[in-house]
């Protein structure tokens, strides 16, 4: 692979190879309008797939001359790339996996822009309208498979983890793959890559030829978490809330490895949804796991959940330490329960229509100084509202860590302030400090610079 910048013309893959003239025209026009900057950032992240680095601003600066243009040609569309990362090419030809991921970026960004957000028939203010939009994006990306049995395990965890934690994620993925289960992650490195790598080896041993490695991302963080090379189905959701709902609707079981604020956000989203009484009888297997050296991490997470959301939330998951085989067995057993439950309820295996996701978890949260300071974090709130607000607090910190526009705002206006009940704030401050100490929040640069201040 070359490390030099490359200028090339390529034809896209997948669904973009068969387009009507009207669709080609809309793709071309959208890529030249307001969507152009977003398309450029996401395309650059995908072209950087497999390379080290998790600083979105640094990536944009290193390839500040990079450009992508969607051109109309008789055969459909052609992509004109200028000064693209040479690592995406072998002997001048783009790596096939990267070509597919690049096509997925264009497909998803333009589809949402032209078919959903710009469609007067789409209601993005109602719960059902948002869920329908999530379904349509996933279906357009061909991740909705009516023939799929309940076999998709979602893995969450940090992109910045120790080697021994990464090796453990591979073991869990391997045991999961031996049971012929498929993998879905946030698509990046670390705990998102390890399970896919382990499962790929296990699938090869089991002669699984159609192994599914789904990566679900969103435009604001993809540059900091470029897709790992194993992802064979990439989906770009328009915002973090729809990304989280996509995980919950598409996945069948959930495994959580050690991570930072992004992982805490994912845990709180799922727990907040499961705390809805309407979901009480629904089987949703959830396991928090890591090597023996990570036991303290999960004790702290468990204690924080107990303090804020109570034993009812703690009962929604198991903690399994240093036992990859048991984790995979719990998932395999749980997915059999899901099959039985959905069959009885006459619900689809491939998309969880019945789970109730309250609007607090669906509405996009814009993290800025005013919205972060206004978050209510008190235990006298309904449990699901507190979970939603804690999730938003962590989401704001994620944005302050990785999203260039939020990083710029923090530099200009100072740190976000997070206010709330004294005991919750003390526990939150302690947990965030431990994330920093353990190197789970490295962004940006070699030394972590906080974007927040906890006020009690």
Q: Write out pLDDT tens, residues 100-155.
A: 999 898 888 888 888 888 788 888 999 999 999 999 999 999 999 998 899 999 99
Task: At 302, list the tokens.
Answer: 């468990």
User: Is the pLDDT score of 78 beyond 60?
Assistant: yes
User: Is the pLDDT score of 254 beyond 60?
Assistant: yes
359: preceding bond cis by omega (within 30 degrees): no
Task: At 284, list the tokens.
Answer: 């949703």
Q: How confident is the model at residue 272 (pLDDT cuts 50, 70, 90)?
A: very high
Pick the more confident residue, 169 or 160: 169
Provide the residue count of the chain: 456
Q: What is the DSSP letter of 408?
A: H
Q: What pLDDT does 132 receive?
A: 95
Measure the CA–CA gap between 173 and 202, rounded to whole angstroms. 8
Q: What pLDDT does 52 receive?
A: 63
Measure the CA–CA gap between 250 and 243, rounded to whole angstroms. 10
Q: What is the mean pLDDT of residues 213-222?
A: 90
Q: How confident is the model at residue 3 (pLDDT cuts 50, 70, 90)?
A: low
pLDDT-wise least confident of 4-13, 44-53, 208-217, 248-257:
44-53
pLDDT in tens, 355-385: 999 999 999 999 999 999 999 999 999 999 9
Residues ≥6 apart with Cβ < 8 Å to 74: none
Q: How confident is the model at residue 301 (pLDDT cuts 50, 70, 90)?
A: very high
Domains in the chain, start-ordered, CATH in brackets?
6-122 (3.30.1850.10), 146-345 (3.40.50.450), 360-455 (no CATH)
User: Is the pLDDT score of 61 beyond 80?
Assistant: no
- 3-state class (DSSP) for residue 55: coil
Q: How confident is the model at residue 75 (pLDDT cuts 50, 70, 90)?
A: low
Q: Are 241 and 247 in contact (CB under 8 A)?
A: no
Q: How confident is the model at residue 15 (pLDDT cuts 50, 70, 90)?
A: low
CA distances to 54, 211, 436, 451 from 444, rounded to whole Å, are 8, 34, 12, 10
User: Is the pLDDT score of 54 beyond 60?
Assistant: no
Average pLDDT, rounded, for the chain: 89
Q: What is the mean pLDDT of residues 155-176?
A: 95
Task: At 231, list the tokens.
Answer: 């992802």
- 3-state class (DSSP) for residue 232: coil
Q: What pLDDT does 22 receive?
A: 73
**Helices H, strands E: what count in the chain?**
17, 14
Measure the CA–CA gap between 270 and 284, rounded to whole angstroms. 10
């Amino acid at each position: 692979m070359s490390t030099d910048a490359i200028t090339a013309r390529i034809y896209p893959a997948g669904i973009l190879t068969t387009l009507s003239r009207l669709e080609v025209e809309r793709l071309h026009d959208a890529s030249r309008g307001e969507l152009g900057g977003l398309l450029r950032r996401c395309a650059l992240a995908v072209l950087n797939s497999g390379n080290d680095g998790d600083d979105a601003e640094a990536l944009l600066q290193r390839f500040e001359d990079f450009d992508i243009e969607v051109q109309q040609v008789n055969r459909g569309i052609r992509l004109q790339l200028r000064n693209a990362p040479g690592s995406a090419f072998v002997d001048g030809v783009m790596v096939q996996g990267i070509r597919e991921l690049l096509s997925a970026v264009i497909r998803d960004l333009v589809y949402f822009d032209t078919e959903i957000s710009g469609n007067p028939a789409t209601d993005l203010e109602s719960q059902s309208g948002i869920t329908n939009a999530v379904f349509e994006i996933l279906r357009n990306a061909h991740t909705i498979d009516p023939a799929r049995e309940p076999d998709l395990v979602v893995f969450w965890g940090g992109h910045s983890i120790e080697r021994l934690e990464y090796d453990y994620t591979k073991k869990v993925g391997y045991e999961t793959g031996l049971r012929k289960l498929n993998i879905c992650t946030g698509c990046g490195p670390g705990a998102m890559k390890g399970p896919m790598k382990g499962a790929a080896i296990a699938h090869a041993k089991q002669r699984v030829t159609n192994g599914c490695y789904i990566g679900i991302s969103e435009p604001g963080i993809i540059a900091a978490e470029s897709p790992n090379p194993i992802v064979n189905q990439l989906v770009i959701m328009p915002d973090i809330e729809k990304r989280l709902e996509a995980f919950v609707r598409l996945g069948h079981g959930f495994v959580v490895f050690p991570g930072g604020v992004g992982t805490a956000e994912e845990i709180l989203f799922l727990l907040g949804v499961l705390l809805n009484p309407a979901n009480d009888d629904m089987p949703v297997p959830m396991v928090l796991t890591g090597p023996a050296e990570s036991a303290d991490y999960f004790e702290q997470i468990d204690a924080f959940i107990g303090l804020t959301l109570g034993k009812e939330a703690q009962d929604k998951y198991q903690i399994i330490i240093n036992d990859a085989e048991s984790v995979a067995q719990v998932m395999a057993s749980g997915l059999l329960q899901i099959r039985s439950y959905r069959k009885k309820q006459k619900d689809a295996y491939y998309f969880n229509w019945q789970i109730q996701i309250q609007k607090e978890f669906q509405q996009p949260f814009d993290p800025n100084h005013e919205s972060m300071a206004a978050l209510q974090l008190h235990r006298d709130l309904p449990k699901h509202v507190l979970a939603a607000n804690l999730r938003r607090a962590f989401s704001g910190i994620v944005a302050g860590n990785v999203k260039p526009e939020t990083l710029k705002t923090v530099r200009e206006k100072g740190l976000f302030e997070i206010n709330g009940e004294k005991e919750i704030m003390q526990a939150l401050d302690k947990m965030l400090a431990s994330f920093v100490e353990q190197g789970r929040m490295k962004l940006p640069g070699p030394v972590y610079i906080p974007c927040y201040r906890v006020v009690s």
